[in-house]
Amino acid sequence: MEEKRGRARYVRGLFDSIASRYDLANAVITLGRIKKWRQCLVGEINLPDAPLVLDLATGTGDLALAIARRSPRARVVGVDLSLEMMGHGREKVRRAGLDGRISFVLADVTALPFRDDVADCVVDAFLLRHIPSLPDAFAEFKRVLEFGGEIASLELTQPTNPVFRPVFWFLFRNLIPLLGGLVSGDYQAFRYLPRSLQPYPGHAEMSAIMRGAGYENVRCRLMWGGAVAVHAGTKPD
């Protein structure tokens, strides 16, 4: 419990400190691909009419915005630990005229302040690496999902392609901290990125964790030589 709190505190401090340059740093280190990856997640989910969607670890709100734009009657609730990140999200949502449909809640996604079976869909992007216990987190996400509701998670993963794998790790350990540090002014934050991915499971293991947490129809879509994955699944009826 203490370890979980310590990690949450560290992650919150880290994202609070880079919030104002987060979007730019991400665009630079992903060579602008991050938008496409989020669109890929949005394309993976089937939404009913007027769904309630939870965007866990919403950060600066880009995934929440993509969902609200795709599904014009959706209500989206973004959840995050970092007030600074959500402050930037709130401003973007206001500028897009979507503040009637997207709201923000300050909370830890591992203990969601929502009742059981409330959401039609749960999504998250670049969250899972920060989570201490993936089986517990997937169980918590399933708790708030409606029966038959869908989950979709976008995250970097261990690349499967044997040629690309060493290239990826070289870039990830060296170039990304450098570029991210240059853009954000916070080298420490971007050194944390490769460290956070090291103990993280590969995509097949991730699918197994989701099945183990009770999701069905678990599927995985890989991008970028297997370095980026969208995992999706359904809470059984």
Where do contacts with ligand SAM occur on this chain (CB under 6 A)?
8, 11-12, 15, 57-59, 62-63, 80-82, 85, 108-110, 125-127, 130
Q: How far is the CB of 4 from ligand SAM (least distance, A)?
A: 8
Q: How far is the CB of 8 from ligand SAM (least distance, A)?
A: 5
CB-based contact 147:156 (threshold 8 Å): no
Neighbours of 237 (CB within 10 A): 8
CB of 108 or CB of 146, closer to ligand SAM: 108
Q: Report the residue closest to ligand SAM, judged by CB.
A: 59
Strands 228-234 and 145-156, sheet pairing: antiparallel
Q: How far is the CB of 22 from ligand SAM (least distance, A)?
A: 7
CB of 107 or CB of 178, closer to ligand SAM: 107
In what side-by-side order are the strands of the sheet with 145-156? 102-106, 75-80, 52-56, 119-125, 145-156, 228-234, 216-223
CB of 113 or CB of 166, closer to ligand SAM: 113
Torsion angle (degrees, nearest 10) of CA 107, 145, 213, 126? -50
Q: How far is the CB of 162 from ligand SAM (least distance, A)?
A: 27
Q: How far is the CB of 94 from ligand SAM (least distance, A)?
A: 18
CB of 5 or CB of 73, closer to ligand SAM: 5
CB-based contact 155:127 (threshold 8 Å): yes
CB of 58 or CB of 158, closer to ligand SAM: 58
Hey, what amino acid is at 219? R
CB-based contact 124:55 (threshold 8 Å): yes
The partner residues of 232 in beta bridges, in order of sequence, read 152, 219
